[in-house]
Each structure stands twice: as C-alpha cells, then as structure tokens.
Amino acid sequence: MWSLRYLQCWRLTPGIACHLSVRAACSALSLLFSLFQVVHAHKPHFMALHCQEFGGKNYEASMSHVDKFVKELLSSDAMKDYNRARVYLDENYKSQEHFTALGSFYFLHESLKNIYQFDFKAKKYKKVTGKEIYSDTLESTPMLEKEKFPQDYFPECKWSRKGFIRTRWCITDCAFDLVNIHLFHDASNLIAWETSPSVYSGIRHKALGYVLDRIIDQRFEKVSYFVFGDFNFRLDAKAVVETLCAKATMQTIRAADTNEVVKLIFRESDNDRKVMLQLEKKLFDYFNQDVFRDNNGTALLEFDRELSVFKDRLYELDISFPPSYPYSEDSSQGRQYMNTRCPAWCDRILMSHSAKELILKSENDEKIVIYDHIGPNVCMGDHKPVFLSFRIAAGAGKPIANVHKCCVVQ
C-alpha cells in the first residue's frame, strides 16, 4: 500500500531566541536541533510548520533576525532532500490593521510528485516547483487567505495580533486546507477564575467559530481541513482551583484605594496553614508543579473543556503529552513551568471529521500516527511545539477527485 508520510508541527517562536546573548543563541540552536530530530525520526514527505508570534513578542527588535532563521532552516543539511518549499511570513508589524505575526512553512520531499497549491484568486491549482518566500505584507498573495480578528473581539488588548492564515493543497487528488491560527489569551487569572466557563473562553469560541465558518463558506469548494496553532485553550480555572484547593481556606486581598480584588491566597486548613496557591492577575503559583507533569498531566484533562463546544465540527487525537504552556524561558529550566498561568494545552492540532478519514489507520503494532510535543527537556520559549505525524492512505480523496480537479492547473 502506498502512503504519504505527513508531518505537522507548530508554535516555534524563534524571535524569543534571537536576542544577542549566549543564552538566546543556545535556545535558537536547541529549537532547530529538536525540530531536525523530529524530521529525521519521521521522514515526512510533506511538512507543514506553523508559527505564531513569529519574531517573538519583541518583534520590532527581533524581526531583523527572522531572515537568518529562515535561511538556516531552508539551507540546513537536515532539509537537503526537500527541494520545494513555500514560506509565508507576516512581518509587516507597522500595519496595525493587518499584522498577525504568523509564519507558515511548507516543505516537499524530492520523492513526492504531483503536488499542487490552490490560487484563491484564480480559483485554480498550480503545480508547486522550486522554493519561494513571501514576507512583509501577505494581503496581495493569492496563494493564501489571511485575516486578523476585529479589535472588538478582544477590546482589552490595545493591539491584538491574533488571526489566521489559510492555504490549500492537493496531493494525488487528495485536497485539504491547512489553517495557521492564533486565538486570544487570558488577560487575568482573577477574571478567568470568576466564572465557569470563563469570559475568555467565550471570546475564543467566537473567534474559532468565525474561522471555521469562513473556511467552509460558499466561495470555494469544501475540502477537509486541519487547523493548528496556538488556540490559547485554558483549563477551566474555577474548577481547577476548587479541585486543587478543595481542603484549603481562601484569603482575599483588595486594593486599598479601589477595593478591587488583587490577590487570592489559598492555605491548607491544617499543616501550619501552608500556602497552596497564590493567584493574581498574572500569577498562578501552586506549591506542587508535579501535578502538571505526572503522567503528562492527564489527571487535569477533565478540565480541558473548550474544544467540547466544537465536537461536531472538529476532531483531535488523544493528548498524551504534558501541558504545552507556560514554560520557563530560562535555558537551564527546560521542564519547568512559569508561575504566571495555570499550565494548559494551548497548542493543538485539530481537524475536520472528513480529514480524520484521510489518515491511514494502523493495521499491526506499528505506530504510524503520533501526536506529541517537541523538546520536552529543551527551552524553546514559553510554549512547547507540538507535532502530528501520520500517513495519508493510498486513494484517500479519490471519490471526490473530480470535484477538486487537482490536475487542472496553470
């Protein structure tokens, strides 16, 4: 049986590691090394790499280093067998209206024949040849769709960079969309704790629903789709705190001038009233981080509820890796979480139910579908990249090949 090895991985933020310091340089090298290890292990024929906050949060200072990272990635020995590539970098940070800081990379192995990319303007597929890089502003690029979410989606943020980039591909009559996405974060732990689900969860649902509606609207033929990036999905904060601190008493600290709650302290009822958890706007300091790492944190998966709203539209493989955020940015603390947010599976790879049917199922003990994180012991910034490796079965998409007309190209 013929099959296509396919790898998706994302949430690489090289800008975080682009400051001129020894520590930062080591982080960038570790990031690339860990990525190349995954490529070597799984040997994908087609690789999609989605990045958010490309250039890092200090993008104005770091964007000049992005080109070096891209050149290193494209010219590295580990990628020498990928003779075709498409790179899309939203680097126009001066455009408040359009800037998303998203970066999408696609690599095609030399053994892969007849692969096409969709031109959204011409509404036709074009054969992919050579290596091309598109940067600065992407609004005029017909090979993708890019949108930034309206400001009123998240009014607390003066200048949000959240949005999505969509590309469409066709391999041997199997057509699919790849969507790079970055959704809104939790602005305050205290506000997130107030309700279940939180107000921020509702904002993310609205944005994700908009994206899903957009990619299946009537402008183009409907195809299977994979959506992957930083969804910023968080655990149900109220339920988590009530579970972790079930036997604790809570102390509320308010600002003297406004009477606003600024801190919550949870103490054990006995044991000399030991502090278990301190909660502030940007502080989540739980006394025992092992609960988030033991058995990959699976005991907390019951509080990972945001995707359930989309269960009829999106599918995800079982999670078997620890929460992907917020990791320490200290290069010597690759496994340590920061005490800023409750650890959560922010970074995900989701797919339509029709996309699920494209994936070749295991027929023996060989594990051919792998959903995991990259660099468990390596510092790569505050997020750990996640990847999905799978094979597309021979003949996948053939029954609707006449709809996609992948062989009609310009």
The 10s digit of each residue's pLDDT in 320-366 is: 999 999 999 888 899 999 999 999 999 999 999 999 999 887 776 66
CATH number for 54: 3.60.10.10
Residue 292 lies in a domain: yes
Residue 267 lies in a domain: no
Residue 147 lies in a domain: yes
Task: Give every residue of the chain whose pLDDT is below 50, as ranges.
Answer: 1-3, 10-26, 400-410
| Cα atoms in the Cβ-side hemisphere of radius 13 Å centred on 226 | 29
DSSP state of 231: -
Residue 39 lies in a domain: yes
Q: CA quadruple 122, 217, 47, 206: dihedral positive or negative?
A: positive
Residues 88 and 70 sit within 8 Å (Cβ to Cβ): no
**Model confidence pLDDT, tens digit, residues 373-383:** 999 998 888 99
- The domain total for the chain is 1
Strand partners, 166: 145, 179
Residue 1 lies in a domain: no
- What count of other Cβ atoms lies within 10 Å of the Cβ of residue 57? 14
- For residues 152 and 95, give the distance between their C-alpha atoms in angstroms, rounded to a whole number: 17
SS3 state of residue 16 = helix
Residue 261 lies in a domain: no
Q: Which two tokens stand for residue 334?
A: 């690759």
- For residues 195 and 278, give the distance between their C-alpha atoms in angstroms, rounded to a whole number: 18
Q: CA quadruple 292, 297, 301, 304: dihedral positive or negative?
A: positive
Residues 347 and 325 sit within 8 Å (Cβ to Cβ): yes
* pLDDT of 397: 66
Residue 176 lies in a domain: yes
Mark 198-218 as b/e (b = at least 16 C-beta within 10 Å).
Answer: bebbebbbebbeebbeebeee
Residue 408 lies in a domain: no
* pLDDT of 56: 66
* pLDDT of 263: 98
DSSP state of 409: B
Q: Which two tokens stand for residue 396?
A: 């996948």
Structural domain span for residue 189: 16-234+287-392
**Helices 22-42 and 59-75, packing angle to 10 deg:** 40
